[in-house]
Structure 1
Amino acid sequence: MHATFRQMQLMLALAETGSVTGAAHHCHVTQPTASMQLKELADAIGLPLYERVGKRLHLTQAGEAAAQTARAIAAEWETLEQRVAALKGVSQGRLRIALASTAKYFIPRMLGRFCAEHPAVDVSLQVLNRDGVVQRLLANEDDLYILSIPPRNVPHDRQVLLGNPLVVIAAHDHPLATRRRVRPEQLLKEPFILRETGSGTRLATDEHFKALGFAPRVRLELGSNEAIKQSVAARMGLGLVSRHALAADPASEGVAILRAEHMPVPSSWYVLWPQGKRLSPIAENFLRQLLEQARDWEVHS
């Protein structure tokens, strides 16, 4: 089997753009040239790489495999470019990070120092729900991934980054807000507003509540911390969110953290990368800085 670097670049562009025209534009070649190169790659592999259903282009299993290999080649080439740049005394390249939505409350601030020290590095942040981050991890689309509940069925390496306490919140003037201790039976009388099923916050919450034998009355399931905070402030029920998602003074957002028994829900943030992946020099540098900052990072309690 023989394939050229250009053909693999086109294969990756095809997977990312969803069209031969888009792949040609991305690789700065004409559409006929792109079609010919992709056909030659398919002939070398011995199987079709894509098929058309109506007006849409879909990769075949062979196409998906070829795209995955092309992505790995592109990552290795970028790593080589960064290592050569480092040998020349130049720090430039790209850093790709995918993070679960709640991590947006602290990762951008932790990025500040790195960006100041490496102005020539382009940074891409993908803020997604947990399933979206896991899918990108599976496809090896980024350098690093930030999750609170690492996937069990995806091989990966990881390090603990930060604590992620999940706290119960109520409207700032709720009767329970001033109590020195809130018992589980008191919480059972209140409706709860929780994150959507499948989110890292919800997975940790459900596991903790199950261990306690606590079955909350769920009024709403919402897809963002901001929506939960607004609903709680509007006295629609109690909420459960990461402490990172709240201001240093929660009252400024119209909510209060309840001093509930068996709370907060214990959880942590992790930084992950595909198992066995060789991180680029830029990713290694950022990971080192990230872990250094995490040691001194304050989680308001």
Structure 2
Amino acid sequence: MIQATLHQLKVFETTARLGSFTKAAEELEITQPTVSSQVKQLTKTIGLPLFEQIGKQLYLTEAGKELLTTCQDVFTQLDNFEMKIADFKGTKEGKLSLSVITTATYFIPRILGSFCLLYPDIDIALQVTNHKQIQERMLNNQDDLYILSQPPEEIDLKSQSFIDNPLVVIAKKDHPLANQKQIPLETLEAYPFIMRESGSGTRKAVQNLFNQHNVNVKVRLELGSNEAIKQAILGGLGISVLSKHTLTFACHEDLTILDIQNFPIAKHWYISHLAGKQLSIIAKTFLEFLIDRTQLMKV
């Protein structure tokens, strides 16, 4: 391994991550033959095959899987070293990889904007996704930090809540229930309902509440986007439950929050990272910035 170069390891890591020599060449901005040559030289150095190709699909061998893990550790440590050197110099330079669920986009961009103004030399890779895909990213250790409303219990994480995330019932302002107070929960059974997609944290919280009180709503639509749900409500297709943040930070004059008993559902936003992960200086800096900044935010 001492004969292997960092360039060869980078080429291998990129190829393994993308599952393609061609895609690796495109990302690294080198030719495909160069990628193949570098992987071939590294394979010779290791003395065992790193990939096996079945049809057009590229698979890692057991040796390849072990080397990929080693490469990721090496590059993480090198990135951390660069960040520490920048920190010693009194600057903050480096990369931050952040994954958030879609609802977080109502407030995270403005926080990131303030963070980038304070630390202009930090590059941020932001991935916006759903709960299912964010769990996959966690299992693959693809990011430094994750922002979500319901950290998965089956993954070993360190999580910290940083702001309330109340779930409320939203309807058009001219809805028959709009001006009523303390409406019984079972009243919702009489009106068409728009539900978030299966796997959504909001959907799980709503279903748990309905199950506890034996409430069965008439689900007319299932949608995977907060904006799509709001448009459906405006179109008269029903009522729904969304995070209050979706109105606070993207206000719609024609929408209102219904005063339903047992609502709002008290939830929180969490920032998480893998329990065994050593956070970089940049990740720690952002985590502290996020906690401090959101203490000033009101829902």
TM-score by length of 1: 0.90
The answer for the alignment partner of 1:175 in structure 2 is 176
Gap change, CA 1:251 and 1:14, over 3 Å in 2:
closer
Separation (CA, whole Å) in 2 of partners of 1:181 and 1:32: 69
Q: Please tell me the root mean square deviation across aligned C-alpha atoms, in Å.
A: 2.2
Contact 1:71/1:140, CA 8 A, preserved across alignment: no
Count residues with an aligned counterpart. Answer: 298
Q: Which amino acid aligns with 1:34?
A: V
Q: Identify if the C-alpha distance between structure 1 residues 213 and 28 changes in structure 2 by more than 3 Å, giving closer, same or farther.
A: same
Say if 1:298 and 1:143 are closer, same or farther in 2 by CA, change over 3 A: same
Q: Which moved more, 1:221-230 or 1:60-69?
A: 60-69
> Which residue of structure 1 lines up, in the alignment, with residue 298 of structure 2?
298
| Contact 1:13-1:23 within 8 A present in 2 as well | yes
Cα offset, 1:210, TM superposition: 2.1
State the distance in 2 between where 1:293 and 1:178 align.
35
In percent, how many aligned pairs have the same letter?
42
Partner of 2:80: 79
Contact 2:172/2:255 (CA < 8 Å) preserved in 1? yes
Alignment of 1:232-243 (within 5 A): 232-243=233-244
Deviates more, 1:122-131 or 1:21-30: 21-30
For 1:1-301, what aligned pairs fall within 5 Å after superposition? 4-27=5-28, 30-42=31-43, 48-60=49-61, 62-247=63-248, 251-252=252-253, 254-299=254-299
The runs of 5 or more residues in structure 2 that have no matched partner are: none
Inter-partner Cα distance in structure 2 for 1:146 and 1:72: 23
CA distance in structure 1 between the aligned counterparts of 2:117 and 2:170, rounded to whole angstroms: 36
Deviates more, 1:15-24 or 1:109-118: 15-24
CA distance in 2, matches of 1:130, 1:44: 41
Query: For residues 241-260 of structure 1, what are the alpha-carbon distances to aligned partners after superposition, in whole Å with 9 as ceiling and x for unaligned?
Result: 111111469551x2111000
Aligned partner letter, 1:261:
Q
* Whole-angstrom CA distance in 2 between matches of 1:245 and 1:189: 25
Give a deviation string over 1:117-139, Cα, whole Å, max 9, x none.
11111111100111111111111
8 Å Cα contact 1:250-1:256 kept in structure 2: no
In the alignment, structure 1 segments of 5+ residues that lack a partner are: none
TM-score (norm 2): 0.91
Letter aligned with residue 282 of structure 1:
I
Tell me how far apart the structure 2 counterparts of residues 65 and 216 of structure 1 sit (CA, whole Å).
50
